[in-house]
Chain A
Amino acid sequence: MLEIKCPWCGPRAQTEFSYAGDATLTRPSLDTATETEWYEHVYLRGNPRGPHDELWHHAAGCRRFVKVRRDVTTHEIIATAGPHEHLGGGGK
């Protein structure tokens, strides 16, 4: 089982969280984005093999989103932070 360190609640079991996917995406601007930008945002993923920055929702805890850098080849959690914080180098 993964142990995810929530910045607000401390280390918690994976089963308290639900996965919210790729944390590197930025929602395009409603006013100016082109169709291609929307397509890329909604459908395309880097899907890297190695460190992956992702969001987990602490659904059965504080109900905040947590940003996690996890190596998807080993499942090792490298760092966690608040959703708008930077995790430091190494991720994609």
Chain B
Amino acid sequence: MTRYSIFSLARNALTGHKNWPQAWRSPEPKPEYDVIIIGAGGHGLGTAYYLAKNHGITNIAVLEKGWLGGGNTGRNTTIVRANYERTENELFYEHSLKLWETMSQDLNFNVMFSQRGVINLAHSDAQVDAFQRRGNAMILNGSDAMLLNPAEIKARAPHLDCSADARFPIKGGLLQPRGGTARHDGVAWGYARAADARGVDIIQNCEVTGLDISNGQITGVQTTRGAIKAKKVGIAVAGHTGHLATMAGMRLPIESHVLQAMVSEPVKPCLDTVITSGAVHCYISQSDKGELVMGGDLDFYNSYAQRGNFPRIEDVVSSVITMFPSFSRLRLMRTWGGVMDMSMDGSPIISKTPTKGFYINGGWCYGGFKATPGSAWVFAHTIANDEPHELNGQYRLERFQQGHMIDEHGAGPTPGAH
């Protein structure tokens, strides 16, 4: 792998950028690997990278039915944060946030991680109290948090309607200064390039259509490019987790739903932080290209289609305009959707399964992008050692049966509600 640096940039500029080497190979699948990872999103590619880097396992294939990064990794609103109240979640997401802080250097790929801060708005006094408690919990768990009053929020987001007669008056907010956004495609590309450099085969246009299991042990997979053997198979297929689990004869505590996002036409810089509101349920930031990136609720019905319906678009846009009245002048440029793996307690599943050698990484709900490095780190550990890492034992599949749900919002077993 040629290292990217100011020198390689200068050298290639002199030759008209015609001699850059390919970032990764496109190998033919081998008949057998030590480990197969299904799904070349950030989680799958990252898992392969850490298996190679942290555990010395390099005979790995990552199988992708489309193109790498074409799933939710390339469809999300790129918000990265670690602002959870529950210790089980906070320790995991804080570990992930730390990995974000060194990701570009580690991968030698600029993922444009921008720690512009993430602000959660409070619209009632009770919510201010709850945020104070949550912020304290975050600090106790080694993360960073700051409670802001409305004047401090106004100073950070001048276009936000902080007036007393706003439809949803702003009473305060919880800021995580180290949170922010990243270039989502860059994360997939960076992990792909770094994994490939360590010998991982990334095989695109290769859909897994069946799992080979004999005597309770996984032995390989069936794909559109033939059968491939492996004694360890991990899935990181986001919204398709339930579909893959069916191939192993399992029903999961997961439903697939569609989540939409949208961007406005690009404008000059006007919002240099991330504003989210759980009560109104919308979140907004400005991309480096100048588009305002917006999202909100699920469409609220089961879906495996990567597109949603108009009522939700209207909903998100009206929420944004309520909070930022001046944005009503902007035109909407693009909308899209992704298939979300909504779990029954709103927390992910990173776990062994009853089938030996078969591992699950899914149930990411609205928030798996920020988890990418942490999830890949612990999933690699789980696969390499056939035991969870100390940060993902709580995300075991059996927790639902054992009564150890990690329900951050207390929403109960209704996947759409998390």
Binding site for B on A (CB under 8 A): 1-2, 14-15, 18-19, 21-22, 36, 39-40, 42-49, 52, 54, 70, 72-75
Contact = CB atoms under 8 A, between A and B. Distances in A.
Contact of A21 (B252, B254, B255, B309): B255
Contact of A72 (B251, B303, B416): B303
A45 B250 CA distance: 10
A75 B414 CA distance: 21
B59 to A, nearest CB: 31
Contacts of A19: 300-301, 416
Interface string B401-415: 100000000000111
Which of B253, B304, B310, B344: most chain A Cβ within 10 A? B304
A73 B301 contact: no
Nearest to B413: A42
Interface string B245-266: 0100001111110000000000
Contact of A1 (B256, B305, B309, B400): B309
B242 interface: yes
Contacts of A72: 256, 302-305
B243 interface: yes
A75 B253 contact: no
Nearest to A17: B301
Contact of B305 (A14, A45, A48, A75): A75
Contacts of A18: 300
Interface string B209-248: 0000000000000000000000000000000101100100
Interface string B119-152: 0000000000000000000000000000000000
A42 B251 CA distance: 12
B contact face: mostly helix, strand, loop, or mixed: mixed
A22 B302 CA distance: 9
Given A14-B311, A19-B416, A72-B256, A44 B305 contact: no
A34 B415 CA distance: 23
Given A54-B301, A54-B302, A46 B311 contact: no
A54 B299 CA distance: 15
Which of B301, B305, B310, B416: most chain A Cβ within 10 A? B301
Given A49-B243, A72-B303, 9 more contacts: A1-B310, A19-B416, A21-B416, A22-B255, A22-B302, A44-B253, A47-B251, A48-B246, A75-B305
Nearest to A35: B401
A43 B400 contact: yes
B148 to A, nearest CB: 35
Interface string B295-320: 00000111111000111000000000
A74 B246 CA distance: 20
Nearest to B341: A47
A47 B301 contact: no
Interface string B194-211: 000000000000000000
